[in-house]
Amino acid sequence: MLGKLRHILGRSTAIPTPSVPAGERVYAIGDIHGRIDLFEDLIRIIEEDDAGRRRAHTTIVLLGDLIDRGHDSAAVVARARAWAETREVEFLQGNHEEMLLLSRTKTESLRGFLKFGGFETIQSYGVDADTIASASIEELQALMNEAIPQDDFDFLDSFKKMVRIGDYLFVHAGIRPATPIEHQLGQDCRWIREPFLSHKGNFGAFVVHGHTITQEPDVCTNRIGIDTGAFINGTLTAIGLEGTERWFLQARDHDVHAEVTAVA
């Protein structure tokens, strides 16, 4: 009887192999951070990969942090909007989008935004670097709000905190363990690291996320992180999902390649 109880308990806490619903395919892309060159390369790779597979309903998920740090945030935003006109694309809000949106009205948020790549984002919208450096915080806020089109602000503000497809939950940073998915706070979804990263149990879904940089995809039994540091390591990563299969696609500074990885 005790042996049977142990078997039942073990089975109930095990994390099942995640899957995408039949007839569907998903590509999720990690943090782009203004690297339009890598983003363009990865779009091409994804389009070629999708065309080379059997017909399916394909969804693209951008995991957030399209902007900041790299030098072409404005171009990344424009390309993402254009891609969504021809593809089904889900957009998740990252902490960097949140910082920009708060900076519109809060100068203290703008100070923080500038420390984490906001300088490059504002510059990408046509504000001269010397002007940014010499402006007061109030002047810079006005310049930023004038330079960035309201349509772009509205677009970034429309991003979701999470998306679920089949057994997979897509989110920018992660979720809080032991909290039901429907009760997760947007702040955690955009900013959390611990206790999310070290949690070994079942989140209620298999989580695909960005936000925390690793040299290669961080594959765990309950989550996969795909922020491979586009702005610092020169590698932008996507994960492809279909049924129980998953594979990685990467665009790099000096080359592009695809890698297929079976589920462990």
156 domain-assigned? no
Domain that holds residue 217: 18-93+161-261
61 domain-assigned? yes
134 domain-assigned? no
- Bridge partners of residue 60, in order along the sequence: 27, 89
Name the domain count of the chain.
1
Domain CATH number, residue 207 = 3.60.21.10
Burial class of 222 by CB neighbour count within 10 A (0 to 12, 13 to 18, 19+): middle
| pLDDT in the model for residue 250 | 98
139 domain-assigned? no
| pLDDT in the model for residue 15 | 79
Pairwise CA distance, residues 61 & 58, whole Å: 10
The larger pLDDT score, comparing residue 77 to residue 11, is at: 77
3-class SS at 198? Answer: coil
| pLDDT in the model for residue 254 | 73
What is the pLDDT averaged over residues 112-140? 97
117 domain-assigned? no
69 domain-assigned? yes
pLDDT bucket at 5, cuts 50 / 70 / 90 = very low
Model pLDDT for residues 158-196, shown as the tens digit of each residue? 999 999 999 999 999 999 999 999 999 999 999 999 999
| pLDDT in the model for residue 46 | 98
Task: Report whether pLDDT(146) > 70.
Answer: yes
Length of the chain: 264
| pLDDT in the model for residue 263 | 37
| pLDDT in the model for residue 255 | 56
Decide if 162 contacts 203 (C-beta within 8 A): no
pTM: 0.92
Task: Report whether pLDDT(135) > 50.
Answer: yes
What is the pLDDT averaged over residues 93-117? 97
φ/ψ (deg, to 5) at 145? -65, -30
Structure tokens at 15: 């994390």
What is the pLDDT averaged over residues 227-254? 97
Task: Report whether pLDDT(8) > 50.
Answer: no
87 domain-assigned? yes
pLDDT bucket at 14, cuts 50 / 70 / 90 = low
% residues pLDDT > 70 (the chain) = 91
Structure tokens at 123: 């510059």
| pLDDT in the model for residue 12 | 40
Pairwise CA distance, residues 22 & 24, whole Å: 6
Decide if 25 contacts 50 (C-beta within 8 A): yes
- Residue-averaged pLDDT of the chain: 92
Model pLDDT for residues 188-222, shown as the tens digit of each residue? 999 999 999 999 999 999 999 999 999 999 999 99
73 domain-assigned? yes
Specify the amino acid at residue 253: D
What is the pLDDT averaged over residues 218-230? 98
Pairwise CA distance, residues 170 & 49, whole Å: 21
Task: Report whether pLDDT(143) > 60.
Answer: yes
% residues pLDDT > 90 (the chain) = 90
Report the relative pairing of strands 245-252 and 24-29 from DSSP bridges.
Answer: unpaired
Task: Report whether pLDDT(142) > 90.
Answer: yes
| pLDDT in the model for residue 7 | 33
The DSSP annotation for 27-74 comes to: EEE---TT-HHHHHHHHHHHHHHHHTS---EEEEEE-S--SSSSS-HH
What is the pLDDT averaged over residues 243-254? 95
